[in-house]
Amino acid sequence: MDTKHEQIVAHMIREVERGHIRSGHKLPSVRALAKMFSCSPNTVVRAYQTLERDDVIYPVPKSGYYLVEGKGPASARTESEPIDFASTTPRGDFLPFQEMEHCLRKAISLYKEELFGYTDPQGIFSLRNELSRYFHAQQMFAKPDQIAVVTGAQQAFSILTRMPFPGEGRVVLVEQPTYFGFLAAARVAGCPVIGIHRDEHGIDLEVLESYFRSGQIKLFYTVPRFLNPLGTSYSLEQKRRIADLARQYDVYIVEDDYLADLEEDSKADPLYALAQSHHVIYVKSFSKTILPGIRMGAVLLPDRLLDPFIRHKNAADISSPILSQGALELYIMSGMYKRHAARIREHYREKMRYAIEVCARVFGSGIHYTCPSSGVFITIRLPQYVKASALQDRLLQRGISVTNVDQHLLPENQRNDRIRLCIIGVEKPRIEAGMIVIEEEIRRLERRMR
């Protein structure tokens, strides 16, 4: 279900498209809309600010809001408007700017002395203590001393691919497909990388065991929940088996849980909880749920890996920014983070359900696509004769951006046969409009190539 803020934006768009509001005319007052939608005036103001950022309306001090001359949602939302299924950046009006601004101001006051020097490379203790309580609620019982604060999950991947691990293994094992950012970190670190096939049903656990048994694996990087690009998740039984294999063969797992806040199943424990922490390095990013620019992440580490990780972290940047750390601490401690996470969890669950319904309606049974329960990614497998790169070019000409799944694959596994859609920044009406065009272009290319 859309939020009141989204309902107001959609209502104003319809009013303009129906001609009830014309260019230069004054919009309904904030008070009138607040009464109509049974919401606070602040919600209406946020909706109007969204339309103002889209250059649809403009404010007049002490008068109200007016429709821009010669512009309006009808012209801004024509079929030629770009639809960005490639970007993984959340919509600006769905990010907690005001809350984070408050936390940043308070952090400046709280940590003003620390601004003149460097802080603990592991992260300020008060934040790690707050993170420990946060993770306890997720069934991950890490003490503050087992947590390291990082400048985004990408820094954690860079450190983990570079630092030495116990044992003789030197090879990094990754799912195929997987997050391209980790592949980039491993490539720069000079690690030998091999892949294991993963689809919407998971991975072949016998193949995984054969890799673990070989003794050549330094670490296994996995995204158990809402894998980018497939969008799908492992079952609880699959996670238990992976955790058992890691213990049995003394292999370390890097668990990337970047969208943990979208999980609705309270029994869907992370690998870290199932493995009792001894063989799992848990990486949590806060970028997708708070603000990408805050660049904050946390890593839960087994005791044997803590010291080498902190040494590499210290060599990388001495310490993560104190203001970002302080703001995150206050955001979690105040309860704001929990409320925001609940809001986005509901929003993306409903949005994904809608997107899957659209896929069924538009693609039917002739085009295969993944069906995640939540998250923000859907992968479409193209018919035999259609190449993802050709489709990508055709769609760009029609104002639609998508991602070639080859970007998420090692060179030897690239087939140029799938595209990824990210719905994180696309409004519901544009999801269907974009998918209709995608289906048209797939069929056009299919006829041409045959």
Last residue of a domain, one of 23, 44, 75: 75
Q: DSSP letters of 375-402?
A: SSEEEEEPPTT--HHHHHHHHHHTTEE-
pLDDT at 73 over 60: no
Confidence bin at 311 (pLDDT 50/70/90): very high
Whether residue 153 sits in one domain with residue 191: yes
- The secondary element (H helix, E strand) that includes residue 434 is helix 428-449
Whether residue 363 sits in one domain with residue 316: no
User: Domain with 380 in it: what CATH number?
Assistant: 3.90.1150.10
pLDDT at 355 over 90: yes
Last residue of a domain, one of 315, 337, 359: 337
Q: What are the pLDDT digits (tens) for 25-60?
A: 788 999 989 999 999 999 998 888 888 776 678 787
Whether residue 297 sits in one domain with residue 213: yes
Confidence bin at 72 (pLDDT 50/70/90): very low
pLDDT at 193 over 50: yes
Whether residue 108 sits in one domain with residue 91: no
The domain containing residue 382 runs over which residues?
A: 83-95+340-449
Confidence bin at 304 (pLDDT 50/70/90): very high
Please give the model's pTM, rounded to 2 decimal places.
Answer: 0.81
> Which pLDDT score, from 0 to 100, does residue 4 have?
85
User: Domain with 166 in it: what CATH number?
Assistant: 3.40.640.10
Q: What are the pLDDT digits (tens) for 115-145?
A: 667 789 999 999 999 999 999 998 899 999 9
Q: What is the mean pLDDT of residues 155-179?
A: 96
Contacts of residue 328, defined as CB under 8 A and 6 or more positions apart, other chains included, come to: 103, 127, 286, 290, 294, 296
Which residue intervals of 18-139 are DSSP H helices? 30-37, 41-53, 73-76, 97-110, 125-136
Task: Give the least confident one: 88-97, 199-208, 211-220, 238-247.
Answer: 88-97
State the greatest distance between any 2 C-alpha atoms of the chain, in Å, as a whole number: 73
For the chain, the domain total comes to 3
Last residue of a domain, one of 75, 105, 134: 75
> Does residue 288 sit in helix, strand or coil?
coil
pLDDT at 370 over 70: yes
Whether residue 235 sits in one domain with residue 113: yes
- Contact indicator for 436, 363 with CB cutoff of 8 Å: no
Q: What are the pLDDT digits (tens) for 397-443?
A: 999 999 999 999 999 999 999 999 999 989 888 999 999 999 999 99
Whether residue 445 sits in one domain with residue 324: no
Whether residue 101 sits in one domain with residue 88: no
